[in-house]
Amino acid sequence: MANKFIVSLSPHVHGGDSVQKNMYGVIIALIPALLVSLFIFGVGAAIVTLTSVAACVFFEWAITKYIFKRERTTVLDGSAALTGILLAFNLPSNLPVWIIIIGALVAIGIGKMTFGGLGCNPFNPALVGRVFLLISFPVQMTSWPQAGQWASYTDAETGATPLALMKAAIKAGDPSMLSELPSSFNLLIGMSDSCQMGAGCIGEVSALALLLGLAYMLWKKIISWHIPVSILVTVFVFSGLMHLANPVYASPLQHLFTGGLMLGAVFMATDYVTSPMTHKGMIIYGVAIGFLTVVIRTFGAYPEGMSFAILIMNAFTPLINTYCKPKRFGEVVKK
């Protein structure tokens, strides 16, 4: 017999999906938000994003090569680049390069590789990096540049973000302060610059661009609708109830379109590795994130609660996986 046939168990065909396709798909979905941020923050956004991606990819490569001593590095699968972009999207555009590099090292080194690399990390690496920076460098991390200063980087003028204003309104107990907020529509498309306010982190300025990314990922079946929709609906309903009870709390639309909520709901909470595996679990996870976010935003010390909410729920993911089983075939016995 001339041929040595290949023998393996079925199935003998594969759908052609791959880790790379999914990772690059998410990166493509992030492009609209990236373009908007370049338009609003100019060169600062470009520097921060490029630094973050380069640092994340470098650390991933270096750790797999020199610490794990693996022959095949996982750099090309796009997961490190994705972490880099997501980390950058959670940083202000005037952050110095050295802080970004520390953030990338924490994100990849501590957030991901200490647990064994792709697929093993319990927490979203980009958020680990972000929260580390937020706690370590609170001043740099919370001085957001105003929009429209295309040519400036670390020298950009800063201002308070809508979220800080919302928090101040709650503290003062004065609902009229909320009228200074940009309109919901402006928040949606990212045009808050007319109000002389700090626009926030790179990736969170335009909710619309992020929703575009969501639509792309749903179309390509990269993620399912369960997590983003359950987060957004919970935030809307819960903040809406609070607003109705006391107008000092911002309106639900203002909650939805400000800060990292959209970014978190669409791109951070849906991270494959750290989110639950079943649809039921995903909805529990999403509802809890939405609830925690609003609680932290209105009652907590920080103006933004998305990162913390996601990290807290990441910790619950294994528990959710243990108790939320998919609907088994045969549980519905007769019609």
Partner 1 sequence: MNLILVAVISLGAIGLVSAIILYVASKKFAVYEDPRIGEVAAALPQANCGGCGYPGCSGFAAACVKAGSLEGKLCPVGGQPVMEKVAAILGLEATASEPKVAVVRCNGTCANRPRVTQYDGVRSCAVANSTYGGETGCTFGCLGCGDCVTACQFDAIHMNPETGLPEVDESKCTACGACSKACPRNIIEIRPKGKNNRRVYVQCVNKDKGVVARKACTSACIGCGKCVKVCPFEAITLENNLAYIDPAKCKSCRKCEMECPQGAIVAVNFPPRKPKPEAPAAEAKPAQTVAEA
Partner 2 sequence: MKTFRIGGVHPAENKLSAGKAIETLALPKQAVFPLSQHIGAPAVPVVKKGDVVKVGTKIAEAGGFVSAAIFSSVSGKVNKIDSVIDASGYRKPAIFIDVEGDEWEESIDRSTELVKECSLTPEEIVGKIKNAGVVGMGGACFPTHVKLTPPPGCRAECVIINAVECEPYLTADHRLMLEHPDEILVGVGILMRAVKVSKAYIGIENNKPDAIRLMKEKAAAYPGIEVVPLKVKYPQGGEKQLIDAVIGRQVPAPPAIPINVGAVVQNVGTAFAVYEAVQKNKPLFERVVTVTGKSLKNPSNFLTRMGTPMSQLIEAAGGLPEDTGKVIGGGPMMGKALANTEVPICKGSSGVLLMNDKEARRSAPQPCIRCAKCVSACPMGLEPYLLATCSAHGDWERVEHEMIMSCIECGSCQFTCPSHRPMLDYIRLGKGKVGGIIRARNAKK
Residues found near partner 1 in the complex (CB under 8 A): 1, 4-9
Separation between Cα atoms, residue 249 and residue 35, nearest integer Å: 32
SS3 145: strand
Residues 6+ apart with CB under 8 A from 28: 216
**Residue owning tokens 């373009």:** 35
Mind giving me the DSSP string for 121-151?
Answer: -SS-HHHHHHHHHHHH-HHHHT-EEBTT-TT
Q: Minimum distance between the CB of residue 13 and partner 1, rounded to whole angstroms?
A: 13
Pick what 176 binds: partner 2, partner 1, none; C-beta below 5 to 8 Å, kind-dependent: none
CB of 18 to partner 1, least distance (A): 18
Q: Which is nearer to partner 2, 301 or 332 (by Cβ)?
A: 332
Taking the C-alpha atoms of residue 89 and residue 92, their distance in angstroms, rounded to an integer, is 8
Using rule CB under 8 A, residue 6 touches partner 2? yes
Smallest gap from residue 280 Cβ to partner 2 (A): 11
Site size for partner 2 (CB under 8 A) = 47
Asked if 69 touches partner 2 (CB under 8 A), the answer is no
Q: Which is nearer to partner 2, 120 or 135 (CB)?
A: 120
> Phi, psi (5° rounding) for residue 11?
-75, 150
CA distance 69 to 149: 44
Binding of partner 2 by 273 (CB under 8 A): yes
In terms of Cα–Cα distance, which of 130, 122, 124, 123 is closest to 89?
130
- Residue in 139, 151, 245, 332 binding partner 2, rule: CB under 8 A: 332
Separation in Å, CA 174 to CA 47, 241, 293, 303? 39, 18, 22, 17
Work out how close the CB of 321 gets to partner 2 at its nearest, in angstroms, rounded to a whole number. Answer: 8
* Cis peptide leading into residue 326 (ω within 30°): no
Write out the binding residues for partner 2, residues 277-296 only, by CB under 8 A: 277-279
Closest to partner 1 by CB, 1 vs 139, is 1
Smallest distance from partner 1 to CB 5, Å: 5
**Residues making contact with partner 2 (CB under 8 A):** 1, 3, 5-15, 17-19, 21-22, 72, 74, 77, 79, 116-120, 224, 272-279, 325-335
